Amino acid sequence: MLSDFLFFDITFFSFLILFTLLIISFIQRSRYSLGSTLFKAMIITLMIAHIMEPIGWLTDGEPGKLNYFLGYLSNTAIILLGPILIGFWASYLDYFMHRSKKRIVQKKFYLYPAMVMMITLIFNLFIPIYFEIDKATNVYIKGNYFDWQYLIHYGFVIYIVYMVIKDRDKNKNRALFGMALFMIFPVIASLIQLFESSILITWPSLSVAVIVVYLFFETTTGALDMLTKVNSRALLESYLHSLIEDKKDFTAIMFDLDHFKEVNDLYGHQMGDRVLIEFAHTLSNYMTEKSSVVSRLGGDEFFVVYQHYQRLSPEDYINSIHQELITNPIFNQFEFLGFSAGYVNNDHKMTVDDILNYADKRMYEQKKHVHSHDEPHHE
């Protein structure tokens, strides 16, 4: 048993790292974007492969129908999971460059090679194209065309390279660099394992590649505003884009603090920062919808997006924020402090820019009304 563990120790620890990364990706607020969903799909695919590969080795040559079934299942899965993983990676890269869910759906999430592999694996049940399991001994035997799968894998990788280079003006070379970092580890590892099958490093090397993707793409998107710790504008726009593509009903509300400059001028920027942090927390605390995104656009401007506006009217939400400004000890020490707000409900015709601009227009209409009455006013 100890020798088996040592044989798969790299796989075991690689699986633990993937599991930890999966938990972190679910906790992160950037869970709203399709890119993050595809990233999690890559992790889950890799985790399944990490389970299937040891099963294939441990059942090889072991007697019993269960071992025969598990051996055939695991080896089939390993062959199929490769193009599935590459398809998710291509989709992730495409979304990074174009930010279009519709485009990826039209391309079937780049799973064409996986579909081809699945068809050939069905034939493998009758003709050992890739492998067979000897029914008498349960011994794994390579098929005459086992290496065909590598032609499919590397051919698809070459296509991804072409795709990125072709759209290099859109990705500004960042995606190309990230893609190179992603591929260098598994390509080297798969070539080594191709010639020495007992060195099980292909899937762990892909785990390293996914970690590189996480560090290069997922942690540099600016998901949180550094001061207030609510979501950034980048995540807001990504979430709005996703909601619009999925034709979701939602409400978008823009907030702007009135007379905030006077807080900075009279009490200093440290107090101003405290007011911004408290206002961001207030917007988050009074938002009851789990699908909501509270973000800071910049300065003293904030934006709130939530679905199911039938359960929470924007007027009631804005009024709750108004009451908090009256009772909160941080806010009520500034009699001149108020806010203006404008909201819009998605009509399934507007773009992200339309949503932002219309809410901004409504908000500034309220702000003009505030200044015309020379006192804070709340919609």
pLDDT of 237 strictly over 70 = yes
Q: Determine which of 39-48, 97-106, 135-144, 169-178 has the lowest per-residue pLDDT on average.
A: 169-178
> pLDDT at position 229, please?
87
Phi/psi at 357 (nearest 5 deg)? Answer: -70, -40
Q: Among the residues of the chain, which ranges form H helices? A: 2-7, 9-27, 34-59, 65-98, 101-106, 112-124, 148-166, 168-171, 174-195, 202-213, 233-245, 260-267, 269-285, 314-327, 352-373
The answer to whether residue 223 sits within a structural domain is no
- Written as one letter, the residue type at 344 is V
Sheet holding 293-298, edge to edge: 293-298, 301-307, 250-258, 338-345
| Highest mean pLDDT out of 10-19, 159-168, 248-257 | 248-257
Q: Which of 162, 188, 218 is the last residue of a domain?
A: 218
The answer to whether residue 226 sits within a structural domain is no
- Residue 207, Cβ neighbours under 10 Å: how many? 25
With contact defined as beta carbons under 8 Å apart, do 312 and 289 qualify? yes
The answer to whether residue 241 sits within a structural domain is yes
The answer to whether residue 227 sits within a structural domain is no
> pLDDT at position 348, please?
85
Give the pLDDT band of residue 272 (cuts 50, 70, 90): very high
Q: Are residues 173 and 291 in the same domain?
A: no
Q: Are residues 186 and 301 in the same domain?
A: no
Q: Are residues 244 and 343 in the same domain?
A: yes
Count of domains in the chain?
A: 2
Average pLDDT over residues 164-180: 61
Q: Are residues 76 and 214 in the same domain?
A: yes
Sequence-separated (6 or more) residues with CB below 8 Å from residue 153: 82, 83, 86, 113, 190
Phi/psi at 11 (nearest 5 deg)? Answer: -60, -45
pLDDT of 45 strictly over 50 = yes
pLDDT of 278 strictly over 70 = yes
Q: What is the DSSP letter of 140?
A: E
Q: Closest Cα to residue 54, out of 113, 13, 115, 87?
A: 13
Q: Which residues pair with 256 in a beta bridge?
A: 301, 340
**Model-level pTM?**
0.73
Q: Are residues 45 and 186 in the same domain?
A: yes
Instruction: Give me the percent of the chain exceeding a pLDDT of 70.
Output: 84
| Highest mean pLDDT out of 168-182, 194-208, 259-273 | 259-273
- 353 vs 94, which has greater pLDDT? 353
pLDDT of 98 strictly over 50 = yes
pLDDT digits (tens, 9 = 90+) for 337-350: 999 999 999 988 89
pLDDT of 131 strictly over 90 = yes
The answer to whether residue 279 sits within a structural domain is yes
Q: Are residues 203 and 246 in the same domain?
A: no
pLDDT of 156 strictly over 90 = no
The answer to whether residue 171 sits within a structural domain is yes
> pLDDT at position 6, please?
47
Average pLDDT over residues 252-276: 94
pLDDT of 378 strictly over 70 = no
Q: Determine which of 167-171, 196-200, 298-302 has the lowest per-residue pLDDT on average.
A: 167-171
Q: Are residues 95 and 211 in the same domain?
A: yes
Q: Are residues 200 and 254 in the same domain?
A: no
The answer to whether residue 379 sits within a structural domain is no
pLDDT of 139 strictly over 80 = yes
- 178 vs 239, which has greater pLDDT? 239
Give the pLDDT band of residue 35 (cuts 50, 70, 90): confident
Where b means 16+ CB within 10 Å and e means fewer, 250-289 reads bbbbbbbbbbbeebeeeeeeeebeebbbbbbbbbbebbeb
The answer to whether residue 121 sits within a structural domain is yes
Q: Which residues pair with 277 in a beta bridge?
A: none
pLDDT of 360 strictly over 50 = yes
Q: Are residues 61 and 91 in the same domain?
A: yes
- 326 vs 6, which has greater pLDDT? 326
- 2 vs 367, which has greater pLDDT? 367
pLDDT of 128 strictly over 90 = yes
- How far apart are alpha carbons 37 and 1 in whole angstroms? 37
> pLDDT at position 202, please?
77
> pLDDT at position 177, please?
59
> pLDDT at position 4, please?
52
Q: Are residues 160 and 55 in the same domain?
A: yes
> Domain containing 313: what range?
233-373
- How far apart are alpha carbons 259 and 350 in whole angstroms? 31
CATH of the domain at 175: 1.20.1070.10
Average pLDDT over residues 61-75: 95
CATH of the domain at 299: 3.30.70.270
pLDDT of 207 strictly over 50 = yes
Phi/psi at 188 (nearest 5 deg)? Answer: -65, -45
Give the pLDDT band of residue 2 (cuts 50, 70, 90): very low
Q: Which of 218, 252, 267 is the last residue of a domain?
A: 218
Tokens 């193009």 label which residue? 83
- 219 vs 1, which has greater pLDDT? 219
> pLDDT at position 376, please?
44
pLDDT of 80 strictly over 80 = yes
Q: Are residues 206 and 251 in the same domain?
A: no
* Distance in Å from the first CA to the final CA of the chain: 69
Give the pLDDT band of residue 75 (cuts 50, 70, 90): very high
Across all residues in the chain, what is the average pLDDT? Answer: 84
With contact defined as beta carbons under 8 Å apart, do 260 and 313 qualify? no
Enter the tokens of residue 37.
Answer: 């969903």
Q: Which of 218, 252, 287 is the last residue of a domain?
A: 218
Q: Are residues 156 and 23 in the same domain?
A: yes
Q: Closest Cα to residue 124, out of 107, 139, 144, 105?
A: 144
